[in-house]
Structure formats: C-alpha cells, structure tokens
C-alpha cells in the first residue's frame, strides 16, 4: 500500500527538523525560511509526494519532529492518517482534580504552622510548631516567595501537600496585608 507525505508550506516555520530526520525528502529553501518537499506535486501551498518503503520510518520521524504539524503521512488507499495514529499515544493525559481532605490528609512529621498578619509591624508571621501549640521558629516577611522559601531552606517542612498548602496560605496572608483585609487561616479572604 502506497504511503504519501503531505507538507503544508503555510504552516512551516523553517526550523529544519524534517531535514535532519529525512534529508532525502526534505531540504530548506535558499534563505532557510521554509522546507521544500523534494519531487512533489503542489496545490495551494500543499505539497504531496509518494514515500519509498525503505524511507517510511525517516519520513514518519520528520512528521513527528515537526513542531507545527506541517507534515502529514497517510495511506493512499485507505486515507488513514498514519502519523496522527502514532501521535495519539503521546496525547496529554487529562485528569480531573479530586481530593478528600478528611480521608486523604496526612500530618507532616515535622509539625504544622500558625499563620497570622501582624498589622502593627506590617508583616506576615509564620510560626512553626514541632509540638502541639508550641511555636519553635517564626519566619516573617511580606513577600510570599521569600517566606515559604525560608521555611523550606530551614527544613521546617517535609510533606509536599503541606508545602503547597503553606504556599497558598502565605499568599493569602500577604494579599490580606497589602489590601488591609482580614486574614483567618484556612478561611477564604473577604473581598468586600
């Protein structure tokens, strides 16, 4: 069964991946801005050529390497799109976000944090408790990145979910400080 390669010049951005993968089929034009499909027939900037059996893998690779999908390979008899069948295997997996805090929550072995906005000192304070209600380290600041990176550098956190939670709460606290809003840990910000 004959396989055809179709090259769309309008889509091409001329990065040359196809030339590297299948030099017997593709070359760049004189100024390097577009590919040329050798020995092809053209209609409306779409070029078509028949693929020799022993070059099929090279041309398939060229199509896969094209960043803008300017190259298509299909079976001339069935019209089946060969490369898109292969590409489907690499399709991005979409996962609906789900999490049950009651069932899945895991306590961080290194402790927990008490977060507050200190309006008098105009800063956010993050207290680490290694034991129940006993703050052993307090990190303060006004920049979320600086605060949570200091927490990480001081090795006060271990659990990734906990780190994500802390980042979100520190961001909320800093936003509350900046806009003079009420901050209560774990509550949504009141944006009146």
Q: Report in angstroms how near the CB of residue 37 gets to ligand SF4 at its nearest.
A: 8
**By the 8 A CB rule, do 70 and 12 touch?**
yes
- Residue 151 sits in the site that holds ligand SF4 (CB under 6 A): no
Is 16 a binder of ligand SF4 (CB under 6 A)?
A: yes
Contact indicator for 16, 28 with CB cutoff of 8 Å: yes
51, 70, 82, 124: residue in contact with ligand SF4 (rule CB under 6 A): 70
Among 3, 5, 18, 173, binds ligand SF4 (CB under 6 A): 18
Identify which range of 67-75, 86-94, 108-116, 178-186 contacts ligand SF4 by CB under 6 A: 67-75
**Interface with ligand SF4: number of residues (CB under 6 A):** 14
HSE, CB side, 13 Å, CA atoms: give it for residue 20. 7
Query: Is 35 an interacting residue with respect to ligand SF4 (CB under 6 A)?
Result: yes
Q: Using CA atoms, how far apart are residues 123 and 186, in angstroms rounded to an integer?
A: 18
Q: How far apart are CA 157 and CA 39, in angstroms?
A: 62
SS3 state at 175:
helix
Q: Which is nearer to ligand SF4, 25 or 165 (CB)?
A: 25
From the list 14-22, 46-54, 147-155, 176-184, the region that binds ligand SF4 by CB under 6 A is 14-22
> Is 14 or 141 the residue whose CB approaches ligand SF4 more closely?
14
What is the Cα–Cα distance from 60 to 46, expressed in whole angstroms?
17
- Tell how strand 123-131 and strand 134-141 pair up: antiparallel
Q: Which 91-110 positions form the footprint of ligand SF4 (CB under 6 A)?
A: none
- Region of residue 11 (left: phi > 0; alpha: psi -120 to 50; beta: else): alpha
Which of these segments, 11-19, 51-59, 149-157, 174-182, binds ligand SF4 (CB under 6 A)?
11-19
Question: Minimum distance between the CB of residue 40 and ligand SF4, rounded to whole angstroms?
Answer: 12
Q: Which helix (H) or strand (E) holds 176?
A: helix 160-178
Q: Contact 155/99 with Cβ under 8 angstroms? A: no
Residues at the site binding ligand SF4, with contacts judged by CB under 6 A: 12-18, 26, 35, 65-66, 68, 70-71
């Amino acid at each position: 069964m004959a396989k055809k390669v179709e090259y769309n010049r309008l889509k091409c951005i001329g990065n040359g991946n196809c030339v590297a993968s299948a030099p017997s089929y593709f070359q760049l034009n004189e100024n390097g801005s577009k590919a040329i499909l050798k020995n092809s027939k053209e209609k409306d900037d779409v070029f078509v050529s028949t693929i020799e059996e022993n070059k099929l893998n090279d041309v398939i690779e060229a199509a896969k390497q094209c960043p803008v999908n300017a190259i298509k390979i299909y079976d001339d008899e069935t019209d089946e799109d060969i490369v898109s069948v292969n590409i489907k295997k690499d399709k991005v997996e979409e996962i609906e976000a789900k999490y049950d805090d009651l069932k899945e929550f895991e306590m961080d072995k290194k402790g927990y944090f008490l977060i507050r906005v200190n309006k008098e000192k105009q800063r956010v304070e993050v207290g680490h408790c290694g034991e129940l209600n006993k703050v052993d380290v307090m990190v303060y600041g006004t920049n979320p990145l600086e605060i949570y990176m200091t927490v990480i550098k001081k090795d006060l956190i271990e659990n990734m979910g906990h780190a994500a939670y802390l980042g979100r709460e520190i961001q909320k606290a800093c936003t509350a400080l900046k806009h003079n809003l009420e901050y209560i840990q774990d509550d949504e910000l009141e944006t009146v």
